[in-house]
Structure 1
Amino acid sequence: MSTPPETEKVAVENPENEKVALENQGRSSAAPSFSDESLTNPTGINEKALVRKLDFKLLPPLTLLYLLSFLDRSNIGNAKLDGLTKDLKITGNQYLFALTIYFIGYVLFEIPCNIILKRTTPKLWLPTLMLVWGTVATLMGVSQSFGGFLAARFFLGVTESGLFPGVVFYLSMWYKRTESHYRVALFFSAASLAGAFGGIFAYGIGFMKGVGHYNGWRWIFILEGLLTVVIATLSYLFIHNYPSTAPFLTEPERAFVQARLKGTDANNTEPFAWSNVLAALKDYKCWLYGFGFHTMSLPLYTLSLFLPTIISELGYTAAQAQLLTVPPYAVATVLTVIVAILAEKTHRRSPFILASSSLAIIGYIILLTAPTEKPGVSYLGTIFAAAGIYPSCAIVLSWATANVSGQTKRATATAMTITIGNCGAVLGTQLYRPKTSPRFHLGHGFALGYLVANLVVTGTLWWSLKRENRLKEERRAGGEVHHEEAVTSDEDVRWIFQT
């Protein structure tokens, strides 16, 4: 028995609850869909094995790129403990401005970088970005003045700005909507891994003080920057474009990957048009995704940039502080992956953001109230903060990708999310001022307030998406069904938003 076209499309666009979607259409839940082997898998390809193959080919190299990206942007916190500010005669306020200018470059160039990605190819664009930022990161290690160091930080922000939004969009061209969060979360877990590795590397590199007449902080930038350059050169070989041209897939596998994505826009040939960019800018939900990350980016970056300083101000030596940054990030990495698995299995996002952000709130309450004579209690607060921040960020950053349809609109919405979000990071870099140490009430207080605001934004977005899904359900029940072959917009009555 053949399936009516409209039945097939509803099933695809609500894969997490296919039966309900079919019943809402007044048809049997036994009706076949695009997921049926008879329709999409005539060659007997094992879908789970193929998805694992995609994961193995795509995720490790992309995660390595982001690990190095986050390492190169956050190692300034480790370098500070190893003599950066003393050698370059950088005052406390100048150091904060050096942190801020990175995010100015990052915010200004995120949307342009994603537009360039859409107009070129991932295989060319992503490794080239990495090669340039690795070179800039290395130059920070040989800077001889504050002005030179400042210029390098700005261009590091410019060149790193295209990686994360680009990769999030790129993954949406390979995986189903219900699969995207888990992959983005694994990719984002590299941020917490970078924090853990950064502490270990900084501790070891600190013993290179005097080698080549360079202080330890210079070697942190030089060695980690050169590592990025080497990996970038190799990445031209292992970054692929899209399923239709992937050399590691057979022709039947390419066809099957594309069949899995039917009902989405991943298989469409969509020429670039500014009207699609404008569509993202006009959609209030795209702004809410951005504010969702905005309320997380300030806690995220203040913690990653200032954690070595926060720990050292608790009374630990510089070397001890470098090593003590590892446990918070290790816990954050594990929880990010666990929460990603749970979110994928339950097809829910909002509840996990609310729970994770609440855990981070507990951490900052501890940091603000713990007695100064008990540094171990405050240190526990950093673990709670990291353990809550990173899982929430991973979900927020993948939300727009799963819910926005139209390739250019989605690429723009993804860049908007991170652009709006990183405006919070710009503010955060000015909050941990030397005169507020060792308690850092100003910085911790802002982070706490932002996390509470995240609960409000997430709750608002949850309610809005459920409302739009309900309205679409009413329209479908009223007989409004589209018969086009593919969904080209999230305004389509068949498009179900993930909440």
Structure 2
Amino acid sequence: MDSKDSPSLAPMDSPGPRKDSLPEEDPNRTERYAPGVVENVVHVVDHKAERALCRRFDLRLLPVLAVMYLFNALDKGNIGNAETDNMSDDLNFKDGQYNLLLSIFFVPYVIFAPPFAMLGKRFSPARVLPILMFCFGSFTLLAASTKNFGGIFALRWFLGMSEAAFFPLVIYYLTTFYRRAELARRLALFYAASNIANAFSGLIAFGVFQIENTPMPQWRYLFIIEGCATVSFSIFAFWYLPRSASEANFLSPDEKALAFHRIQVDSSAIVNEKFKFRDAIGIFRHLSTYCFLAIEICLGVPLQGVSLFMPQIIERLGYTTVKTNLYTVAPNVTGAVMLLVLAFSSDAAKLRSPFIVLGFLFTFTGFMIYASITDVQSQIRVAYFATFMMTWGTSAPSVLLSTWYNNNIAHEGRRILLTSIGVPLANLMGLVASNVFREQDKPKYMPALITVGAFGATGAVLSALLGAYMFLDNKRRDRRDGATVRAYDVPTERLRDGPASPEFRWFL
């Protein structure tokens, strides 16, 4: 499109529900709303231009965000690797203090997530995310200098504060660049960094713990290496990330117009809407909100159990400290692969709930297999395979669940508020996970295995029931309107009120 034809970025009125993906009244109309887009139509006509735009976003955003989240996961989970190198003994922990150290992280993580996420909405995630990253990298670095339980306990509190809004802000940030049906696989590529971080953490620990004749215990070097890398990368990210598509200097004016249209019709009711708390809390008028939060709770226990205690679970197989950390690598890598398979399949099918249910079932099966084994040495291959299923069933539901409720909320303020509560709520379940894996239950941790498996089963049931309700409600709305309308056929600029809107359809 020539520059003289560049469109206005103001949203336009939209037609009523459509029985087809294109307007029936004039399929040949030529008025343009953005390059490659027929006016007021959800579906982009110039697919080549849209794919090229997505590739530019993918190359610019995803690698940097993935590395940022890799460091986020490393700095949160390296405490488990340090514990396998006798950190508790070096710092003279008393009974139960290690579990308390794990638990305290989640208190500020939940308390500070909503206010920090709102600040991120106000000042742009592209600026707030690197600042948060600089903070949690600094606290990890300081952990290497701690001399007692009180010192590392305080640092874990501040680490929880600085990591609180990180994942919710990344989810919101990506919703301002991608359509609803494009989001899951992008979040999966980003979130896979968490699994890679758990694997990479094991490799780092494997290397660091073999250092000999050092003036400090090896676990201190673990904190130094990971903290320094995090702080360094945060400085680069602050300079590199674009505040929004409209301010991205790597896009042409036509590409910016196309990017605006994509989000206006298939992500947000009002793009870059100013945050108003009174409007945002309207999300709690919907019953589906509480169902999503209940599923987050069911997800949180297995997610945190695997993240925090995978080294201890594998330690039961009878390996040395060095081999235990090395053997955590393969399950976490395959967890990342399974996450990508389910997320890409979910986007291709434009369905969320069936794949979330499948992930929960993987979790349940893995923990039940592991719990049923009495003689680990004689069934060591089966026991090790069960740890693979544990990782398969924790990563995918986390990404797809966040994508699911973001797909069903067009109001940006409500979206960031629910995400900033739901994601930390799942992480708050680390309080449960860190207290069911008790020292007295070693080496099998039977009560913990049963508890985590039960949460996985409950999550599968709740996800299936909510998905069934959405399907039936969509059918009811179709019968009322006398037309079959899919969720992605209705422009999100007309869905600001959510289910209260007559044209609303659930994204299943």
* Same fold at TM > 0.5: yes
Work out whether 1:469 is the aligned partner of 2:468: no
Residues of 1 paired with 2:374 and 2:413: CA distance? 51
* Contact persistence 2:34–2:254 (CA under 8 A): no
Residues of 1 paired with 2:468 and 2:390: CA distance? 26
Correspondence for 2:6? none
Specify whether residues 362 and 485 from structure 1 end up closer, same or farther in structure 2 by C-alpha distance, changes over 3 A only: closer
* Contact persistence 2:358–2:460 (CA under 8 A): no
Trace 1:80-479 onto structure 2 (pairs within 5 A): 80-211=83-214, 213-263=215-265, 264-265=267-268, 267-372=270-375, 373-374=377-378, 375-477=380-482
Instruction: Give the partner amino acid of 1:454.
Output: G
* Identity of matched residues, %: 26
Alpha-carbon deviation of 1:165? 0.3
Residues of 1 paired with 2:47 and 2:343: CA distance? 29
Query: For each residue in 1:263-314, what CA deviation from the matched residue of structure 2 results, as whole angstroms up to 9, or x when unmatched?
Result: 2426535222122221123322122222222111111111111111111122
Query: For each residue in 1:215-247, what CA deviation from the matched residue of structure 2 results, as whole angstroms up to 9, or x when unmatched?
Result: 011111111011100001111121111111111
Structure 1: give runs of 5+ residues left out of the alignment: 12-17
Correspondence for 2:71? 68
Correspondence for 2:5? none
Correspondence for 1:497? 506
Mean Cα displacement is larger for which, 355-364 or 337-346?
355-364
Residues of 2 paired with 1:483 and 1:124: CA distance? 29
Instruction: Give the partner amino acid of 1:225.
Output: G
Mean Cα displacement is larger for which, 434-443 or 459-468?
459-468
Q: Secondary structure at the match of 1:150?
A: helix
* Contact persistence 2:124–2:243 (CA under 8 A): yes
* Contact persistence 1:287–1:416 (CA under 8 A): no
Alpha-carbon deviation of 1:488? 2.4
Specify whether residues 379 and 469 from structure 1 end up closer, same or farther in structure 2 by C-alpha distance, changes over 3 A only: same
Query: For each residue in 1:346-384, what CA deviation from the matched residue of structure 2 results, as whole angstroms up to 9, or x when unmatched?
Result: 111111111222122221111101132333321211111
Instruction: Give the partner amino acid of 1:428.
Output: A
Specify whether residues 282 and 419 from structure 1 end up closer, same or farther in structure 2 by C-alpha distance, changes over 3 A only: farther
Alpha-carbon deviation of 1:315? 0.8
Alpha-carbon deviation of 1:484? 11
Instruction: Give the partner amino acid of 1:421.
Output: A
Q: Secondary structure at the match of 2:92?
A: coil
* Contact persistence 1:258–1:267 (CA under 8 A): no
Instruction: Give the partner amino acid of 2:373.
Output: A
Instruction: Give the partner amino acid of 2:374.
Output: P
Correspondence for 1:54? 57
* Contact persistence 2:132–2:163 (CA under 8 A): yes
Alpha-carbon deviation of 1:210? 4.4
Residues of 1 paired with 2:357 and 2:26: CA distance? 33
* Contact persistence 1:110–1:415 (CA under 8 A): yes
Specify whether residues 61 and 440 from structure 1 end up closer, same or farther in structure 2 by C-alpha distance, changes over 3 A only: same
* Contact persistence 2:37–2:46 (CA under 8 A): no
Residues of 1 paired with 2:13 and 2:113: CA distance? 38
Alpha-carbon deviation of 1:458? 0.2
Instruction: Give the partner amino acid of 2:227.
Output: G
Specify whether residues 269 and 321 from structure 1 end up closer, same or farther in structure 2 by C-alpha distance, changes over 3 A only: closer
* Contact persistence 1:244–1:254 (CA under 8 A): yes
Specify whether residues 478 and 369 from structure 1 end up closer, same or farther in structure 2 by C-alpha distance, changes over 3 A only: closer
Residues of 2 paired with 1:144 and 1:484: CA distance? 54
Instruction: Give the partner amino acid of 1:488.
Output: R
Alpha-carbon deviation of 1:252? 0.9
Residues of 2 paired with 1:485 and 1:430: CA distance? 45
Correspondence for 1:14? none
Correspondence for 1:15? none
CA RMSD of aligned residues (A): 2.7
Specify whether residues 209 and 412 from structure 1 end up closer, same or farther in structure 2 by C-alpha distance, changes over 3 A only: farther
Instruction: Give the partner amino acid of 1:457.
Output: L
Residues of 2 paired with 1:483 and 1:314: CA distance? 53
Alpha-carbon deviation of 1:329? 0.5
Residues of 2 paired with 1:93 and 1:44: CA distance? 58
Specify whether residues 273 and 244 from structure 1 end up closer, same or farther in structure 2 by C-alpha distance, changes over 3 A only: same
Specify whether residues 485 and 454 from structure 1 end up closer, same or farther in structure 2 by C-alpha distance, changes over 3 A only: closer
Instruction: Give the partner amino acid of 2:257.
Output: A
Specify whether residues 265 and 371 from structure 1 end up closer, same or farther in structure 2 by C-alpha distance, changes over 3 A only: same
Mean Cα displacement is larger for which, 114-123 or 44-53?
44-53
* Contact persistence 1:291–1:420 (CA under 8 A): no
* Contact persistence 1:34–1:262 (CA under 8 A): no
Alpha-carbon deviation of 1:161? 0.7
* Contact persistence 1:135–1:225 (CA under 8 A): yes
Mean Cα displacement is larger for which, 29-38 or 266-275?
29-38
Residues of 2 paired with 1:38 and 1:455: CA distance? 39
Query: For each residue in 1:187-237, what CA deviation from the matched residue of structure 2 results, as whole angstroms up to 9, or x when unmatched?
Result: 1111111111010000011123543x1101111111101110000111112
Residues of 2 paired with 1:72 and 1:148: CA distance? 16
Residues of 1 paired with 2:27 and 2:447: CA distance? 58
Specify whether residues 72 and 210 from structure 1 end up closer, same or farther in structure 2 by C-alpha distance, changes over 3 A only: farther
* Contact persistence 2:296–2:423 (CA under 8 A): yes
Instruction: Give the partner amino acid of 2:225.
Output: L
Alpha-carbon deviation of 1:39? 2.2
Specify whether residues 126 and 208 from structure 1 end up closer, same or farther in structure 2 by C-alpha distance, changes over 3 A only: same
Tell me the TM-score normalized by structure 1: 0.90
Residues of 1 paired with 2:491 and 2:192: CA distance? 40
* Contact persistence 1:134–1:226 (CA under 8 A): yes
Specify whether residues 29 and 339 from structure 1 end up closer, same or farther in structure 2 by C-alpha distance, changes over 3 A only: farther
* Contact persistence 1:200–1:326 (CA under 8 A): yes
